[in-house]
């Protein structure tokens, strides 16, 4: 999946040691389909070479406002008019101050002043004292007021040996922020609560009863919802997946722990998405010590009891959020998923075949609702998550409009 396909970016580098991170950014962004024109200030050339950036971007690097390649000597105009966005990373305190005042004394600053309607994203990078200086804070606030998107900075160890705010985001974080910037904010201002991953039910201190869910679909939906502008709370069973940027994650293990975490957070949720593969049963009396195999080899007797039905319970709340559930079936998908939606009384239910989806990177989904069944072709789970967020946003907007009219 190329998440920046057909996007034309201008990448501006100013004089900071964090320039080295942008080599990785360019490589990753091109893998996602982006076309990148690089503009370097003179100071940036002290930290990374134009030759390196040209080799990675596959395009000539721009360093002078007097460059004659455009023919009309107006690179600052031509480049901005061709781009979907401008990202300046690293952005030094000096560059930020220049932009606040509209100063245009080199190609990058001039282009940013002359950018017209082209969006500007800025990733600050500087010593912690420079970042905390009142002038820098005033300038950052002014850029934000002017409509510039500020990415970071992070806190951490800095090249000077000090630790604190001012460290530029890493390449993968900047790439994710770039992708997020271009996503329609269809869930802006909404709180989305999502469950993901498997649950584990203890048999003894060593063994658990679990399932094959990887959590990939739930995490993709959390990322897609966050990129659509939502505040996302993710309640996750055990997985090895990294937390999507901007998502608040709560780790749980058993179905009962997941139930408690969901019920503690659902009160202010606008939308609930139950993706987790929650165990239907728990082991009633887990052994306190490891179960041993005796000489006869007789297996232990295990008694099961029902776990709470998280999706159905959330959907039945007096002020329930808009609910979307999942059904992973192994056969007769349409009949089982349709019956599950009616039984749990949710407006949307997404069905798939477990043997095709679990631990896979792609999936084929079917959406069940009061309207016609919608089938999606097999696609990467991130693409599927974006498609589902569009379906969900439409359905949520329709339900909200109906509620207002009534």
C-beta of residue 53 within 8 angstroms of C-beta of residue 23: yes
CA-to-CA separations, 4 to 1, 36, 244, in angstroms, rounded: 9, 11, 18
Per DSSP, 381 falls in state H
β-bridge partners, 319: none
Phi and psi of 278, rounded to 5°? -85, 135
Contact partners, residue 124, CB within 8 Å, separation at least 6: 90, 91, 92, 93, 96, 131, 140, 150, 151, 152, 153, 166, 168
Residue 401's alpha-carbon distances to 1, 159, 318, in angstroms, are: 34, 53, 19
Distance of CA 105 to the CA centre of its chain: 37
Annotated active-site positions, please?
Answer: 160
* 193: DSSP letter: E
Structure tokens at 357: 């989806």
């Amino acid at each position: 999946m190329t998440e920046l396909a057909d996007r034309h970016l201008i990448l501006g580098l100013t004089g900071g040691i964090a320039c080295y991170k942008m080599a990785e950014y360019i490589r990753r962004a091109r893998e996602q389909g982006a076309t990148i024109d690089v503009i370097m200030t003179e100071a940036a050339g002290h930290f990374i070479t134009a030759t390196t950036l040209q080799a990675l971007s596959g395009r000539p690097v721009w360093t002078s406002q007097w460059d004659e390649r455009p023919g009309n000597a107006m690179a600052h105009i031509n480049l901005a008019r061709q781009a979907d966005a401008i990202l300046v990373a690293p952005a030094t305190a000096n560059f930020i101050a220049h932009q606040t005042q509209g100063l245009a004394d080199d190609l990058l600053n001039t282009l940013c002043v002359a950018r017209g309607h082209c969006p500007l994203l800025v990733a600050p990078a500087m010593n912690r004292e420079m970042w905390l200086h009142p002038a820098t804070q005033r300038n950052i606030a002014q850029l934000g007021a002017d409509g510039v998107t500020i990415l970071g900075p992070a806190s951490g160890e800095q090249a000077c040996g000090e630790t604190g705010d001012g460290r530029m985001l890493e390449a993968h974080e900047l790439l994710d922020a770039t992708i997020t910037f271009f996503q329609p904010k269809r869930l802006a201002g909404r709180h989305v609560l999502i469950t993901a991953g498997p649950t584990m039910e203890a048999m003894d201190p060593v063994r658990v009863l679990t399932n094959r869910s990887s959590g990939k679909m739930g995490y993709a939906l959390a990322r897609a919802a966050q990129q659509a502008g939502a505040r996302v709370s993710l309640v996750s069973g055990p997985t090895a997946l990294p937390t999507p940027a901007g998502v608040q994650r709560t780790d749980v293990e058993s179905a009962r722990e997941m139930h408690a975490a969901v019920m503690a957070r659902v009160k202010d949720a606008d939308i609930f998405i139950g993706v987790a593969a929650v165990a239907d049963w728990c082991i009633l009396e887990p052994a306190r010590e490891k179960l041993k195999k005796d000489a006869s080899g007789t297996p232990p007797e295990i008694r099961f009891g029902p776990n709470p039905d998280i999706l159905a319970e959330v959907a039945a709340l007096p002020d329930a959020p808009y609910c979307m559930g999942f059904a992973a079936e192994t056969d007769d998908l349409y009949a089982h998923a349709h019956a599950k939606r009616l039984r749990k009384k949710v407006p949307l239910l997404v069905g798939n075949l477990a043997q095709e989806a679990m631990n896979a990177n792609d999936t084929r989904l079917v959406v069940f609702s009061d309207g016609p069944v919608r089938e999606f072709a097999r696609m990467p789970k991130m693409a599927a998550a974006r498609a589902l967020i569009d379906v969900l946003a439409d359905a949520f907007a329709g339900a909200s409009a109906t509620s207002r009219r009534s």
